[in-house]
C-alpha cells in the first residue's frame, strides 16, 4: 500500500508523514550537526530539530486523535513544547503556521497545502527578531514558492512534496551565496539541511510502499522514540542497589501525563490550584502544567499509588513513569546529589541551604538535574540556563531560583522552561538563556506561560548570565528598573571563552588548526594556540586592554582543565595586570576550557 495517488491529506496520512520525517532527520542528525561553521564543538542543529519534530510525533502517539484538525493541533503543541535551539523554535513555528491553515478542515488538497506552507514561512520569519537570508528561513520560503509555481492545484500529494524537496535542494545550494560565513566555511546552511531531510521524509512517506518504509526506518523497533545512536544512554536498573533488607528513604520520582475526561470532571472549571496543593501535601519537587484537557505532573513521593488514585478521579493516564529514587541516590558518586564547590572567593560560595542534584538526566544526557519544591508566590524570581557544577553552585549562591540544565549542544526545550517557571511561582520571572541558540526557546516558553510576566534577558553565554544575576537587588520592587539595570550590566560587560577547535581554517585573519585552543569573543576568534594557557592569556589581554575601565576579571575553569594550568593562568594575569582583581574559580563546564568575564 502507498499514498502515491492520494490528492487529499487526512489525519492518518499526516501522522505517517510526520513519523517518516522524524525518522529521516534522525538518520542525518550528525550530517546536519557537522555543517556548523564555527570551529567550536557546538554543532547541535540536527539534535534540536529532531527533538522538536519528534515532540510532535510523540504527542500524536500519546493521544488518540481523530481527523486532520486534531492531528495537526496535537502535533504542533508537542513541537512547541519540545522546541530546542533557534532552529527548533523556527521549525515549531513553521508547523504552527501550517496548523493555523489545516486545523479548520477535515482534509486538504495541494492548493490548500501550499497556502499552509506559506503560512508556515510567515510564522517562521516572525519568530526571529532579525531574520537572516541564507538560513532555514530562506529555504522554507523559496521552496514553498517553487512548489506553488510547479504544482497544479489538484496534483497528488506525492508530487507536491517531491517538488517541495526539489525546491529545498535548489535553495540550499544557494545559501552560501547569501551568507558569506557559509561560503567561507564551504558548507550549506545546517537548519535548511534539516528542513530538507524533513521534506525527504514526507516525500518517502507518500511515494513508497508503507510496509517497506517501516522496515527501512525501523519504526517497528521504536526508532523514533530511541535516542540517536551516538548519544544513547543506559537505562538499565541495578537491582542490587535495593535489597530485601533496605528501607525506602527517598521515595519515587512520579510523572503522569493525564487527559482530563468530560465524564469525570468539568474541564472548564477544573481547579489547578487544588491539584498543586494536593501534590505539595503528597511530596516535594512538584511540577505541574496543564494545557486545555492535557496535564502533566511530577512529584517525589513515598506513595505514588495515592497520587495515581487521586488523579484517576479526573481523567485517564496517557503516560506513567515511576522510578525508585533510592536506586539513583545509592548509585550517585556524591551523597544525596550534593556537590561541593572548592572556591577561595567567598562571594562565590554556596548558601548553606543551596542544593544541586547531579544525577544524570536520561532524557537530555546533560548529567545535570535541578530539583526544588514549589515556593510561595513572590514579586519576582529568576531562571538561568546552566552547564557545569561550579556555575550551578555560583548561580544558586547569587540567588537564582531555578536552574535549567543545558548549554552548548544540549539546548533545553520550551517545556523545560515552563517547568522551571512553575517552580519559581512569582509575579515576574527574569530568564537568562545564556546561549544565543536558547533565546528563542526561552521566548517561546514565555509566550506560552500565563501565570507570570516573563522577561527574557538575551544573554548569549554563561559569563553574561553571571553579570546579569549580579545586577539584581533582591529587595527591589521596581521590575522595569531591575530589567533596565540587568540589561545595562550585561551590555557593559565583556566576556569570552577558550575551547578546542574541531576544524582547521582561516577565521578573522587567524589560522586555526584542528585541535588548537582558540580564544574568542562572540564569534570573533582572538587567539589560536597549541597550549590552553597561552590561548587563554591572549584572550585575557584582549578583554583587559580593550577598555581601561575594566578592573575585575573572573575566570571560570572548565571541568577538564588541570589545577596547574589554572594556577599558571591566574599568576600570569596577576603579574601582567597588577591593578586588576583576578578571581579564578571552578565552572565545571563542558566544551569551554575557560570562560572569562571582565567588568
How far is it, in rounded angstroms, from Cα 340 to Cα 356? 9
Spatial distance between the Cα atoms of 53 and 94, rounded to a whole number of angstroms: 11
Q: What is the pLDDT of residue 408?
A: 64
Q: Considering all CA atoms of the chain, what is the largest pairwise distance in Å, rounded to the nearest integer? A: 76
Q: From CA 203, how far away is CA 198, in angstroms rounded?
A: 9
- Is residue 36 within 8 Å of residue 190, measured between CB atoms? yes
Q: Work out the angle at residue 266's Cα, subtended by the Cα atoms of residues 261 and 269, and round it to the nearest 5 degrees.
A: 130
Question: Distance between CA atoms of 64 and 56, rounded to whole angstroms?
Answer: 13
Dist CA 156 CA 147 (whole Å): 12
- Determine the pLDDT at residue 352: 30
Enter the C-alpha cell of residue 254. Answer: 512520579
Q: Do strands 505-507 and 517-521 pair parallel, antiparallel, or not at all (unpaired)?
A: unpaired
pLDDT given at position 121: 96
The predicted structure's pLDDT at residue 576:
92
User: What integer pLDDT is reported at residue 332 of this predicted model?
Assistant: 38
Q: Domains of the chain: which residue ranges? A: 11-228, 251-330, 343-477, 495-598
Tell me the three cell numbers of residue 142: 523559496
pTM over 0.85: no
pLDDT of residue 311: 94
- The DSSP code for 378 is E
Q: Which residues contact 349 (CB under 8 A, 6 or more apart)?
A: 341, 343, 397
pLDDT per residue as tens, the chain (599 positions): 889 999 999 999 999 999 999 999 999 998 898 887 776 655 688 988 999 999 999 999 888 878 999 999 999 999 988 888 888 889 999 999 999 999 999 999 999 999 999 999 999 998 887 888 999 999 999 999 999 999 999 999 999 999 999 999 999 999 989 988 888 777 889 999 999 999 999 999 999 999 888 888 876 444 455 556 544 333 445 556 667 777 776 678 787 888 999 999 999 999 988 998 898 888 876 666 676 787 877 777 889 999 999 999 999 998 787 878 666 444 433 322 222 222 333 222 223 333 223 233 333 332 333 333 444 578 999 999 988 888 888 898 888 999 998 866 678 989 999 999 988 988 999 999 998 889 999 999 999 998 899 999 999 889 999 999 988 987 788 999 999 999 998 988 889 999 999 888 888 789 999 899 999 998 889 999 999 999 999 999 999 887 666 778 999 999 889 999 999 999 999 999 988 888 898 888 888 999 999 87
The confidence score (pLDDT) of residue 359 equals 31
How high is the pLDDT of residue 337? 24
Topology of the domain comprising 251-330: Alpha-Beta Plaits (3.30.70)
Burial class (CB in 10 A: 0-12, 13-18, 19+), 441: buried
pLDDT for 590 equals 85
Q: Strand 426-432 to strand 378-386: parallel, antiparallel, or no bridges (unpaired)?
A: parallel
Domain 11-228 indexed as CATH 3.10.20.30: no
CA distances, 38 to each of 70, 183, 524, 536 (Å): 41, 12, 10, 18
The pLDDT score that the predictor gives to residue 549 is: 66
Report pLDDT for 329.
45
Give Rg (Cα) of the chain.
25
Structure-block grid coordinates of residue 357: 542534584
Give the right CATH number for 343-477 from 1.10.3470, 1.20.120, 1.10.3710, 3.40.50. 3.40.50
Q: Do the beta carbons of residue 282 and residue 306 sit within 8 Å?
A: yes
What's the CATH number for 495-598? Answer: 3.30.1180
Contacts of 119 (CB under 8 A, 6+ apart): 97, 98, 100, 101
Amino acid at each position: 500500500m502507498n499514498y502515491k495517488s492520494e490528492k487529499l491529506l487526512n489525519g492518518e496520512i499526516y501522522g505517517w508523514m510526520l513519523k517518516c520525517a522524524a525518522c529521516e532527520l534522525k538518520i542525518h542528525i550528525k550530517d546536519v550537526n557537522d555543517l556548523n561553521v564555527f570551529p567550536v564543538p557546538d554543532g547541535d542543529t540536527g539534535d534540536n530539530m529532531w527533538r522538536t519534530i519528534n515532540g510532535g510525533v510523540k504527542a500524536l502517539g500519546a493521544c488518540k486523535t481523530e481527523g486532520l484538525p486534531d492531528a495537526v493541533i496535537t502535533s504542533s503543541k508537542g513541537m512547541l513544547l519540545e522546541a530546542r535551539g533557534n532552529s527548533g523554535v523556527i521549525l515549531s513555528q513553521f508547523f504552527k503556521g501550517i496548523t493555523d491553515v489545516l486545523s479548520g478542515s477535515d482534509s486538504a488538497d495541494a492548493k490548500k497545502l501550499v497556502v499552509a506552507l506559506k503560512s508556515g514561512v510567515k510564522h517562521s520569519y516572525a519568530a526571529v527578531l532579525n531574520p537572516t537570508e541564507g538560513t532555514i528561513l530562506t529555504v522554507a520560503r523559496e521552496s514553498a514558492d517553487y512548489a506553488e509555481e510547479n504544482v497544479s492545484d489538484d496534483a497528488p500529494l506525492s508530487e507536491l512534496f517531491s517538488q517541495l524537496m526539489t525546491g529545498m535542494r535548489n535553495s540550499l545550494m544557494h545559501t552560501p551565496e547569501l551568507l558569506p560565513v557559509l561560503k567561507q566555511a564551504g558548507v550549506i546552511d545546517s537548519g535548511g539541511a534539516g528542513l530538507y531531510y524533513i521534506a525527504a521524509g514526507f516525500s518517502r512517506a507518500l511515494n513508497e510502499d508503507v510496509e517497506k518504509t517501516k522496515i527501512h526506518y525501523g519504526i517497528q523497533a521504536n526508532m523514533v522514540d530511541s535516542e540517536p545512536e551516538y548519544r544513547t544512554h543506559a537505562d538499565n536498573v541495578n537491582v542490587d542497589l535495593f535489597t530485601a533488607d533496605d528501607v525506602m528513604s527517598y521515595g519515587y520520582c512520579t510523572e503522569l501525563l493525564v487527559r482530563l475526561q468530560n465524564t469525570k470532571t468539568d474541564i472548564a472549571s477544573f481547579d489547578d490550584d487544588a491539584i498543586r496543593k494536593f501534590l505539595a501535601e503528597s511530596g516535594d519537587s512538584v511540577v505541574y502544567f496543564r494545557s486545555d484537557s492535557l496535564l502533566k505532573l511530577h512529584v517525589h513521593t513515598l506513595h505514588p499509588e495515592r497520587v495515581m488514585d487521586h488523579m484517576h478521579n479526573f481523567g485517564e493516564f496517557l503516560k506513567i513513569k515511576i522510578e525508585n529514587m533510592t536506586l539513583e541516590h545509592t548509585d550517585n558518586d556524591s551523597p544525596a546529589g550534593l556537590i561541593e564547590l572548592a572556591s577561595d572567593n567567598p562571594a562565590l560560595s554556596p548558601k548553606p541551604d543551596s542544593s544541586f542534584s547531579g544525577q544524570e538526566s536520561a532524557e537530555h544526557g546533560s548529567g545535570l538535574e535541578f530539583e526544588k519544591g514549589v515556593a510561595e508566590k513572590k514579586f519576582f524570581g529568576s531562571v538561568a540556563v546552566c552547564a557545569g557544577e561550579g556555575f550551578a553552585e555560583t548561580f544558586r549562591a547569587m540567588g537564582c531560583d531555578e536552574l535549567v540544565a543545558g548549554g552548548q549542544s544540549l539546548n533545553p526545550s520550551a517545556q523545560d522552561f515552563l517547568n522551571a517557571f512553575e517552580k519559581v511561582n512569582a509575579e515576574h520571572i527574569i530568564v537568562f538563556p545564556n546561549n544565543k541558540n536558547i533565546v528563542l526557546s526561552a521566548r517561546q516558553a514565555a509566550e506560552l506561560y500565563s501565570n507570570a510576566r516573563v522577561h527574557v534577558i538575551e544573554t548569549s553565554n554563561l559569563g553574561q548570565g553571571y553579570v546579569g544575576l549580579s545586577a539584581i537587588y533582591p529587595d527591589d520592587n521596581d521590575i522595569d528598573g531591575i530589567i533596565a539595570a540587568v540589561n545595562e550590566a550585561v551590555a557593559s560587560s565583556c566576556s569570552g571563552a577558550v575551547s578546542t577547535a574541531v576544524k582547521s581554517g582561516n577565521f578573522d585573519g587567524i589560522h586555526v588548526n584542528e585541535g588548537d585552543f582558540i580564544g574568542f569573543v562572540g564569534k570573533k576568534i582572538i587567539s589560536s594556540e597549541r597550549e590552553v594557557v597561552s590561548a587563554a592569556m591572549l584572550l585575557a589581554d584582549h578583554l583587559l586592554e580593550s577598555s581601561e575601565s575594566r578592573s575585575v576579571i573572573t575566570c571560570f575553569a572548565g571541568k577538564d582543565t588541570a589545577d596547574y594550568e589554572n594556577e599558571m593562568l591566574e599568576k600570569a594575569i596577576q603579574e601582567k595586570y597588577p591593578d586588576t582583581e583576578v578571581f579564578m574559580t571552578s565552572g565545571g563546564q563542558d566544551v569551554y576550557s575557560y570562560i572569562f568575564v571582565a567588568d
